[in-house]
A = this chain, B = another copy of it.
Amino acid sequence: MADTSSLEQLIQALRRLPGVGVKSAQRMAFHLLQHDRASMRVLAQALQEADARMRHCALCHTFTEAELCATCSDPRRDASQLCVVETPADQAAIERTAAYRGRYFVLMGKLSPLDGIGPRELGLGELFERACDGVVREVILATNFTAEGEATAHVIGEALRARGLSVTRLARGVPAGSELEYVDLGTIAHALVDRR
């Protein structure tokens, strides 16, 4: 592109972002260098701070800067309900409906045998321990309605029912094959009410 290594290294570093190919990375690098030096410094600092400060909530596993996340620290949340989601984005989608006042367990992924992600890698043992704490009365499976999300819900549901827990699944109001974070709020709210 040009003859200088710091430009080439910036392009290569931008390509590490998911969904960014070489053409996009070049455009990003040129735009930043030519028109938006301030954003280079802002983004560099944000990356370093997030890397240094973000860890996982000890209780629900979502991202947090503290030992416990805000939801887990909130005494007004109903501890008898535990909603299992794949990602913080899915959790946020459910929170935006304001239709759920229980607690969460964020898998931070899903079962994906082809990628080597089994029950152990996904930390299902910790979920089962949490669900069997004697306080949780109902586990709501809100994994995505994709093949992998359904398989994940199936495995968790079977294991928790075997432990005598009440397990429900978001109702079929959510269109099959879709991912929660892209579903409109009304559909998610309806699926929460109609959970089975």
A10 to B50, Cβ gap below 8 A? yes
Closest B-chain residue to A42, C-beta based?
B13
A16: Cβ under 8 A from any B Cβ: yes
A3 to B74, CA, bound (A): 12
Instruction: Assess whether A43 is in contact with B16, with CB atoms less than 8 Å apart.
Output: yes
Produce 1/0 per residue, A12-52, CB < 8 A to B.
11101111000110111111111011011111111111111
A51 to B41, alpha carbons, bound, how many Å? 8
A6 touches B49 (CB 8 A): yes
Q: How many residues of A contact B (CB 8 A)?
A: 61
Contact of A47 among B16, B41, B71, B92 (CB under 8 A): B41
14 pairs from A and B in contact (CB 8 Å cutoff): A2-B62, A4-B69, A5-B65, A6-B65, A12-B46, A13-B42, A17-B43, A18-B28, A18-B31, A26-B181, A33-B51, A40-B48, A40-B51, A44-B48
